[in-house]
């Protein structure tokens, strides 16, 4: 075996980190429905900064049964220069077949 010399910009080994641990400037929530019931999007809303072009992906109107998937993706970088208070986004889902309703709300307290 030969002696290995590495240059400073070459990584000898690395490990992957979960994507949530990497600060990409994005807020992303993926909804997955494993139930046998179809869910419908109910109330969805954003404060003005989220609504001004920073929502890159919004969930569709239906979250299909058995592994249906929808995503809310917000790019923080697009509005991070504004420092005028909290930014909020929310999505709620319901099923017409069963009395179930749930939602997620994202709060970014101050953007500087």
Tally of domains in the chain: 1
Whether 19 maps to a domain, the answer reads: no
What would the pLDDT profile of 23-80 be if each residue is shown by its tens digit? 456 778 889 999 999 999 998 887 765 555 577 788 999 999 999 999 888 776 655 5
The enclosing domain of 99 has a CATH number of 2.60.40
- pTM strictly above 0.75: no
Q: Does residue 54 form part of some domain?
A: yes
Residue 36 lies in a domain: yes
Cβ proximity of 75 and 43 under 8 Å? no
Look at residue 86 and tell me if it is in a domain.
yes
The domain containing residue 100 runs over which residues? Answer: 24-108
Calpha distance 30→63 (Å, rounded): 11
Within a domain: 88: yes
pLDDT of residue 24: 56
- What is the C-alpha to C-alpha distance for residues 93 and 99, in angstroms, rounded to an integer? 11
Tell which residue, 76, 70, 79, 82, has the closest CA to residue 44. 70
In a domain, 3, yes or no: no
């Amino acid at each position: 075996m030969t002696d290995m010399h590495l240059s400073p910009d070459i990584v000898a080994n690395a490990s992957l980190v979960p994507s949530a641990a990497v600060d990409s400037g994005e807020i992303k929530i993926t909804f997955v429905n494993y139930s046998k019931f179809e869910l419908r999007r109910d109330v969805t809303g954003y404060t003005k900064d989220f609504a001004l072009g920073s929502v890159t992906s919004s969930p569709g109107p239906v979250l299909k049964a058995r592994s249906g998937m929808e995503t809310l993706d917000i790019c923080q970088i697009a509005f991070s220069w504004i420092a005028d208070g909290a930014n909020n986004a929310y999505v709620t889902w319901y099923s017409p077949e069963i009395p179930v309703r749930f939602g997620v709300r994202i709060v970014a307290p101050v953007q500087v």
